[in-house]
Chain A
Amino acid sequence: MATQTVSAEPVSLDPSRRARLAEFWYYFSENRGAVIGLAVFLILVALAILAPVIAPHAPNAQYRDAVLLPPFWAEGGRAAYALGTDAVGRDMLSRLLYGARFSLFIGIVVTTLALTGGIVVGVIAGYVGGWIDTAIMRVMDIILAFPSLLLALVLVAVLGPGLTNAMIAIALVLQPHFVRLTRAAVMSEKNREYVVAARVAGAGPMRLMFRTILPNCMAPLIVQATLSFSNAILDAAALGFLGMGAQPPTPEWGTMLAEAREFILRAWWVVTFPGLAILITVLAINLMGDGLRDALDPKLKRS
């Protein structure tokens, strides 16, 4: 059985997968905002990867002769510091470029943690059912009873401030959404004929749960994953802003905003640019999420 599937896969699945991808792209590209979001996101990824190459200065290098310089187009600005410098003479542009690495890294790690945790727990709850399901869902209700940022803040207070702990806390807070979605999808799939057929053919519970059922539940999870990605970036920046996330001098955007707070009425650029970077990143991901939902949600499909 197992060998048969493996040998059959490359031949039979490839064309259909390509067709599915083409269909997906057809619907996704109909949404202009989603395509713009994807383009911006790809640019951000490129900037983050290339940060060491394109950044004009080291992110933590302090230039004593260039403290709180405005951007180059404003009076007193210098071309060497295109977006100005902060209160200790660090180049804003370089810090923002390195900050993109942190934000995208946070998004990836948190979403991966929340998604894998949520899927495993959700599949078990939906597939096994009974008291295990009830117990799991009650625990998720408990997590959801707290405002996410408050719970993350308190968790970081327990674990100690820092980026790693902030990511763990945010992943824990976002995870119940994945559990609920997975469970609901698994419950609606598990009595379908193809699952029964696989069971009759002798598939064990692990194979049924993760190979047979799970791939058919992915659409809502992918949409939720993009939402989590942007939420993770926002929450991590908020924790950084509150002094509980990444610690100075890390060029994380929220932490940069926290350091800039006392200069808001004197140097608008130290406040404006890090926040703008967060907004653009989150907006691009949310635009993509809207497009993904349109392309993956069968209810909205017009065909």
Chain B
Amino acid sequence: MLRFLLKRLAVLIPTFIGVSVIAFSFIRMLPGDPVALLSGERVMSPERHAQISHQLGFDRPIVIQYLDYLWGILRGDFGTSIANKSSVLDQFFQLFPATLELSLCAILIAIILGIPAGIFAAIKRGSFFDQTIMGAALVGYSMPIFWWGLLLIILFSGILQWTPVSGRISLMFFFPSVTGFMLIDSLLSGQQGAFKSAASHLILPAIVLATIPLAVIARQTRSAMLEVLSEDYVRTARAKGLSPFRVVGIHALRNAMIPVITTIGLQVGVLMAGAILTETIFSWPGIGKWMVDSVFKRDYPVIQGGLLIIAGIIMLVNLAVDLLYGLINPRIRH
């Protein structure tokens, strides 16, 4: 297992260095003068330009600049926002719980609905139920989720008036942030109706963000189940007279879940891309909206830092999934 871990790390570290090179060169690839872009000052005298250039370290060799940047990252310095002069990492930590809460709810919805749907579709292969589920999964997989979100807003916020349109909680509630998760914080606050408000704000964005992972997990579960159900040991289990529930639930499911777990892990990237659109539609104050806003505000240090942090998170989650995969499937380690 240790060798497996080291092997994975040997691939991960160069990739992270590459990702940091991309983030580093991003500001230098932008059209225009990076010094002017970073200082946010449009007109400046040559002396001022030289001064800021020196402050930012742009007058040093590019390799030194990169090493300096890398050293800063290792110490947790991801740059400073032009818009409000606060640290990119601080902003990230402030906004990340909102995205994490949304993503966790979305992936839970996707797992709770997707795995049973895939299992039943596989057991009842070719049936009307199977065809409906797989048809729905293909529609979900093809869905432009930004449009799907707008449709849900029209139906549930516009026509039925069941849910609010945007934000995380109604403005009438105010309580200190303990966990950063609005659902938990609203419960802890003990204020009447706060939890309900938080949940009603969360439900639509969570459904929208869950759509593609749900479709992918249902399809993957079905095909993994189908593969396993035709294996000899499943036939043996059936022949032994075990109940269908035991055969499917214990013998088949355990092995079918191995590729499904990988698929779930791979959804992190999908969730992050989905968060960009979902958070924009629902004005959800998370890192997806943060990135889009920064692109519009041309807050380049935030884009640079956010890009690196998000890629770093995805790489770490993928590593965790790989290790988990190695634990439950010893064959992969060799």
A-to-B contact residues, CB < 8 Å: 33, 138-139, 141-142, 145-151, 153-154, 157-158, 160, 230, 234, 237-238, 241-244, 254, 257, 261, 264-265, 268, 271-272, 274-276, 278-279, 282-283, 286-287, 290
Q: Are A238 and B277 in contact (CB under 8 A)?
A: yes
B269 within 8 A of A: yes
Whether A286 touches B273, Cβ cut-off 8 Å, given contacts A138-B15, A157-B303, A264-B158, is: no
Q: Which residues of B contact A261 (CB under 8 A)?
A: 150
B261-296 Cβ-contact flags toward A at 8 Å (1 or 0)? 000000001101100110010000000000110011
Q: Which residues of B contact A148 (CB under 8 A)?
A: 269, 273
Q: Are A275 and B150 in contact (CB under 8 A)?
A: yes
Complex partner residue of B277 from A141, A149, A154, A279, CB under 8 angstroms: A149
Whether A153 touches B292, Cβ cut-off 8 Å, given contacts A272-B151, A278-B147, is: yes
Q: Are A271 and B147 in contact (CB under 8 A)?
A: yes
Q: Are B291 and A150 in contact (CB under 8 A)?
A: yes
B18 within 8 A of A: yes
Whether A150 touches B307, Cβ cut-off 8 Å, given contacts A268-B154, A278-B144, A286-B141, is: yes
Complex partner residue of A147 from B15, B31, B280, B314, CB under 8 angstroms: B314
B311 within 8 A of A: yes
Kindly identify, within residues 233 to 260 of chain B, every residue whose CB is under 8 Å from any CB belonging to chain A: none
Q: Are B144 and A279 in contact (CB under 8 A)?
A: yes
Q: Are A149 and B276 in contact (CB under 8 A)?
A: yes
Q: Are A154 and B138 in contact (CB under 8 A)?
A: no
Kindly identify, within residues 129 to 180 of chain B, every residue whose CB is under 8 Å from any CB belonging to chain A: 135, 138-139, 141-144, 146-148, 150-151, 153-154, 157-158
Q: Are A283 and B310 in contact (CB under 8 A)?
A: no
Kindly identify, within residues 302 to 334 of chain B, every residue whose CB is under 8 Å from any CB belonging to chain A: 303, 307, 310-311, 314-315
Q: Which residue of A lies closest to B157 (CB)?
A: A265
Q: Which residues of B contact A138 (CB under 8 A)?
A: 14-15, 18
Q: Which residues of A contact B272 (CB under 8 A)?
A: 147, 150
Complex partner residue of B144 from A160, A282, A287, CB under 8 angstroms: A282
Complex partner residue of A145 from B15, B141, B277, CB under 8 angstroms: B15
Q: Are B277 and A241 in contact (CB under 8 A)?
A: yes
B164: min CB distance to chain A, Å:
13
Q: Are B29 and A158 in contact (CB under 8 A)?
A: yes
Whether A154 touches B144, Cβ cut-off 8 Å, given contacts A145-B311, A149-B277, A279-B139, is: no
B19 within 8 A of A: yes
Q: Are A264 and B11 in contact (CB under 8 A)?
A: no
Complex partner residue of B139 from A238, A272, A283, CB under 8 angstroms: A283
Whether A275 touches B147, Cβ cut-off 8 Å, given contacts A141-B11, A242-B280, A243-B296, is: yes
How far is it, in angstroms, between the C-alpha of A279 and the C-alpha of B215 when the chains are bound?
15
How far is it, in angstroms, between the C-alpha of A238 and the C-alpha of B142 when the chains are bound?
13
Q: Which residue of A lies closest to B21 (CB)?
A: A142
B22 within 8 A of A: yes
- 15 extra A-B contacts, CB within 8 A, seeds A150-B276, A158-B31: A138-B18, A141-B11, A147-B314, A150-B273, A157-B298, A158-B29, A160-B31, A234-B142, A238-B144, A264-B153, A275-B144, A275-B150, A276-B147, A279-B147, A283-B138
A and B contact pairs by CB, cutoff 8 A, 28 listed: A138-B15, A142-B22, A145-B15, A145-B314, A146-B311, A146-B314, A147-B269, A150-B272, A150-B273, A150-B276, A150-B291, A150-B307, A157-B295, A238-B277, A241-B277, A261-B150, A264-B154, A264-B158, A265-B157, A271-B154, A275-B146, A278-B147, A279-B139, A279-B147, A286-B141, A286-B142, A287-B138, A290-B138
How far is it, in angstroms, between the C-alpha of A47 and the C-alpha of B227 when the chains are bound?
41
Q: Which residue of A lies closest to B139 (CB)?
A: A283
Q: Which residue of A lies closest to B18 (CB)?
A: A142
Q: Which residues of B contact A154 (CB under 8 A)?
A: 26, 295, 303, 307
Top 7 A-B pairs ranked by shortest CB distance? A275-B147, A142-B18, A149-B273, A147-B273, A282-B142, A147-B272, A283-B142
A72: min CB distance to chain B, Å:
20
B44 within 8 A of A: no
A236: min CB distance to chain B, Å:
10
Q: Are B151 and A275 in contact (CB under 8 A)?
A: yes
B167: min CB distance to chain A, Å:
16
How far is it, in angstroms, between the C-alpha of A234 and the C-alpha of B147 when the chains are bound?
11
B30 within 8 A of A: yes
Kindly identify, within residues 1 to 27 of chain B, every residue whose CB is under 8 Å from any CB belonging to chain A: 11, 14-16, 18-19, 22, 26
B36: min CB distance to chain A, Å:
16
Whether A244 touches B154, Cβ cut-off 8 Å, given contacts A146-B19, A154-B26, A290-B138, is: no
Q: Are B150 and A257 in contact (CB under 8 A)?
A: yes
How far is it, in angstroms, between the C-alpha of A163 and the C-alpha of B42 when the chains are bound?
28
